[in-house]
């Protein structure tokens, strides 16, 4: 597949990391570091090395897996490790893992000695279709997601479906939600195509289309001043539900499961506050419920959810702002919505 | 004095913060934060407010003073404070203080929610002539100076000599060393002029010239790939002596005192490894010793000093690289030097 150019760096698809080999050879990095988590060092690192003809000349830095470890303590530990390994400004960091690794590794690289080169090799569907493009790096502080980070582009990104073969089904389904989102906000035909797709075997061509859509949007608006906000469709309510679930449920929702709920709720909001039609809402709701487990949004959580939405990073001047669908495949942003409508949309989801 | 334009932002001199008032009025920031340390909140904040017609609409964040507090723990505390105060992406942070405050405040602002606007109002001579320009932000990790940071430009910088009136003489002398450096590396006439200047009353015009020199250099090479390295003249040895003194002396050297020692040693190195002449070295040594207290570089510290130089951020591939004088007013960079020469240069300083 042809590489895709994004704001000065290149995304390679199913290319077997050849460009990475060339970069390492030509660039004379003083040292190469590979950052993994405990899972990706086991299942992805061998694949990665085989792609690079048994590449060995790197130092491995392994962290614990999971969002709860995307925090400043791990950054401090890894900054110090880099120093212990004598990483200088001409060092290269390769982030091999899901969004936690590419986000945190990107933040660490973009700030270590005021910035060293880094390369992302996303190994989850979510990180391939979403975190792979746009230059956002970040970590959580306390429970606030991505409270600290930078906008910094990796040198290159490599997207290889080979890595997905070991990914658990629930993680595949989680990433698939972002693909559905790309269809909903920007490409109706793509959305219709996804409906006939098996999320357990995502095709490289669909991943490519998702990355292409996101790339178009972030190229126009890299710093999320306006258009980029459409990528938050489903996320205002979805994030709140996700945070609430994380704090209160024994088996919390994945990001994808939560934003899928967000799609339904915010599609419902789009009926009243934008131009989405009732049949479109019905279609979206049915498709989401056919794929994602039904969740019950507890009535006693509604106030907390509203509070969480208010503290969303994307708000300005304390107003909750939504990205809403004008139709299937078209999205608008900066929509103010009455609190009563938000609550009705939660009720609507529950009523399905 | 005319404002100076630096890579997209403007440095204002003796302008009374008028441009800041206009920016705050026109930009509709959702919130304004002023970051100070315990000293600058006392002696600089009233001056700052008087410049702004008793400006009151801000939240004050005060930290402890001193390099030892330019660390990640303070950053975490301030990131959380920003969150508690509901700082959103349209917030503005004004860093009012010396280099510790502008470096750390700049880092915090450049990473909070992936970056909010910030403005620097440097209140020490050192931060006015040096930290004010170039876009470096940073914090120390453990004892490693500026190990973590970003290159991010403030919206504006305001340089007002009024703030210097409360600055202790030793701090003035410390900042004055950077001015001498600017003369030594780029402008012999300026260096000669400084010799006739009273460091206790630095003139705005001299501060302006220093900022101008630094600005020219960093505009050509913002990311310190080559030319910018000349600004490290005196700093390879100076930083090592500074770190050693900090760890071992009861009353440690200031940054300026340490780099002044570095000027002498690296001028000595420039004789053998570049084209500086003996009379020029003599002139520099005499001028430095007439201003700065003589220090004894202990023989038993030499090994530690070499180790410290090796771990310098600016090195590549483990080699110690120096910026050396070709003549008074002209500097070259990336010079490799024999270890024996480094040791001789320390002996030379001691012999004076
Ligand atoms: N930067 C961005 O633009 C952006 C966009 C979306 C999401 N994100 C971030 O991404 C993170 C979520 O990403 P994620 O879902 O990839 O999380 P993740 O990195 O935690 O990965 C999920 C789990 O899958 C494991 N894993 C990864 N690759 C595997 C493989 N090939 N086989 C088997 N197991 C594998 C991981 O070890 C982890 O346990 C969040 O922190 C989110 O904020 C960032
Ligand atoms: N970003 C850059 O390019 C750059 C360049 C040079 C130095 N620096 C950094 O700057 C820092 C040193 O700067 P500094 O010397 O300004 O240190 P500083 O900020 O610690 O200030 C020195 C002392 O003076 C006090 N002070 C500040 N303004 C005052 C005033 N007007 N009156 C009375 N007291 C005042 C402070 O409270 C402090 O106690 C270091 O951390 C260094 O790494 C950065
Ligand atoms: Zn998402
Ligand atoms: Zn200095």
**For residue range A203-217, what is the model confidence (pLDDT) as tens digits?**
999 999 999 999 999
Q: Does residue A37 have a pLDDT over 80?
A: yes
What's the rounded mean pLDDT across residues A183-199? 97
Q: How many angstroms does the Cα of residue B304 sit away from the middle of ligand 4?
A: 20
Spatial distance between the Cα atoms of B176 and A223, rounded to a whole number of angstroms: 39
Tens digits of residue pLDDT in A244-253: 999 999 999 9
Specify the pLDDT at position A317.
65
Q: What is the DSSP string of A93-107?
A: EEEEESHHHHHHHHH
- Give the minimum alpha-carbon distance from A104 to chain B in angstroms, rounded to a whole number: 13
Spatial distance between the Cα atoms of B305 and B310, rounded to a whole number of angstroms: 9
Specify the pLDDT at position B317.
65
| B44 Cβ contact list (under 8 Å, min separation 6) | B36, B96, B97, B121, B123, B163, B166
Spatial distance between the Cα atoms of A67 and A174, rounded to a whole number of angstroms: 14
Alpha helices in chain A (DSSP H): 18-27, 38-43, 45-51, 72-84, 99-111, 125-126, 169-186, 188-195, 204-220, 235-248, 255-273, 278-291, 302-310, 339-351
- Give B335's strand partners: B322
Specify the pLDDT at position B314.
67
Partner A contacted by B200 (CB < 8 A):
no
Specify the pLDDT at position B318.
66
Chain B residues inside the 8 Å CB shell of A148: 79, 111-114
Specify the pLDDT at position A316.
66
**Quick one: closest CA in A to B152, which residue?**
A114
pTM of this structure = 0.93
Contact state of A141 with B83 under an 8 Å Cβ cutoff: yes
Q: What is the DSSP letter of B232?
A: G
B169-351 adopts what CATH topology?
A: Dehydroquinate synthase-like, alpha domain (1.20.1090)
Q: A14-23, A66-75, B238-247: which range is least confident on average? A: A14-23
Spatial distance between the Cα atoms of A317 and A308, rounded to a whole number of angstroms: 15
Tens digits of residue pLDDT in B198-236: 999 999 999 999 999 999 999 999 888 899 999 999 999
Residues of chain A with CATH 3.40.50.1970: 4-166
- Smallest-distance ligand from the CA of A260: 3
Range B344-351, long-range pairs (CB < 8 A, 24+ positions): B344/B268, B345/B237, B345/B265, B345/B266, B345/B268, B345/B269, B346/B237, B346/B265, B346/B297, B346/B302, B346/B305, B348/B264, B348/B265, B348/B268, B349/B261, B349/B264, B349/B265, B349/B268, B349/B297, B350/B296, B350/B297
B4-166 is a CATH 3.40.50.300 domain = no
ipTM over 0.85? The verdict is yes
Tokens encoding A306? 């509203």
Specify the pLDDT at position A225.
86
Contact state of A150 with B30 under an 8 Å Cβ cutoff: no
As a residue count, chain A comes to: 352
Specify the pLDDT at position B92.
97
Average pLDDT, chain A: 94
Specify the pLDDT at position B16.
87
Q: Which helix (H) or strand (E) holds B240?
A: helix B235-248
Q: How confident is the model at residue A345 (pLDDT cuts 50, 70, 90)?
A: very high
Residues of chain B with CATH 1.20.1090.10: 169-351
Specify the pLDDT at position B319.
76
What's the rounded mean pLDDT across residues B156-165? 97
Q: By CB neighbour count within 10 A (0-12 exposed, 13-18 middle, 19+ buried), where does A289 fall?
A: middle
Tokens encoding B90? 């349209």
Q: How confident is the model at residue A6 (pLDDT cuts 50, 70, 90)?
A: confident
Q: Does residue A124 have a pLDDT over 90?
A: yes
Specify the pLDDT at position B168.
97
- Give A112's strand partners: B148
Quick check: helix, strand or coil at residue B166? helix
Q: How far is CA B213 from CA A143, A213, B216, B329, B334, in A?
A: 45, 45, 5, 11, 20
Q: How confident is the model at residue B278 (pLDDT cuts 50, 70, 90)?
A: very high
Mutate to test the pocket of ligand 1, among A6, A39, A120, A258 (most ligand atoms within 8 A of CB): A39
Specify the pLDDT at position B316.
66
């Amino acid at each position: 597949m042809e590489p895709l150019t994004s704001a000065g760096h290149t995304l390679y698809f199913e290319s077997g990391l050849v460009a990475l080999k060339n970069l390492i050879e030509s660039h004379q990095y003083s040292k190469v570091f590979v950052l993994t988590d405990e899972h990706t060092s086991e299942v992805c690192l061998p694949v990665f090395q085989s792609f690079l003809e048994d590449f060995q000349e790197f130092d491995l830095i392994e962290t614990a897996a999971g969002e709860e470890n995307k925090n400043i303590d791990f950054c401090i530990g890894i900054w110090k490790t880099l120093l212990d390994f004598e990483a200088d400004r001409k060092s290269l960091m390769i982030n091999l893992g899901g969004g936690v690794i590419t986000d945190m590794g990107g933040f660490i690289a973009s700030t270590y000695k005021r910035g060293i080169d880094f390369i992302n090799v996303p190994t989850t569907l979510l990180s391939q279709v979403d975190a792979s493009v746009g230059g956002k790096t970040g970590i959580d502080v306390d429970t606030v997601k991505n409270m600290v980070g930078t906008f910094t582009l990796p040198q290159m990104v490599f997207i290889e479906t080979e890595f997905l073969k070991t990914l658990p089904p629930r993680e595949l389904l989680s990433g698939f939600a972002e693909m559905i989102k790309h269809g909903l906000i920007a490409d109706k035909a793509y959305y219709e195509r996804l409906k006939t797709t098996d999320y357990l075997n995502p095709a490289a061509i669909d991943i490519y289309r998702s990355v292409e859509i996101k790339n178009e949007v972030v190229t126009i608006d890299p710093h999320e001043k306006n258009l980029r906000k459409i990528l938050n469709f489903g996320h205002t309510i979805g994030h709140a539900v996700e945070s609430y679930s994380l704090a209160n449920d024994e088996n919390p929702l994945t990001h994808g499961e939560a934003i899928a709920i967000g799609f339904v709720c915010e599609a419902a909001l789009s009926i009243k506050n934008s131009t989405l039609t009732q049949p479109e809402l019905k279609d979206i709701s049915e498709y989401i419920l056919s794929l994602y487990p039904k969740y019950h949004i507890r009535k006693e959580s509604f106030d907390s959810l509203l509070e969480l939405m208010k503290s969303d990073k994307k708000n300005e001047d304390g107003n909750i702002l939504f990205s809403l669908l004008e139709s299937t495949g078209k999205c608008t942003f900066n929509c103010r919505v009455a609190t009563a409508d938000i609550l009705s949309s939660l009720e609507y989801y529950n009523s399905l």
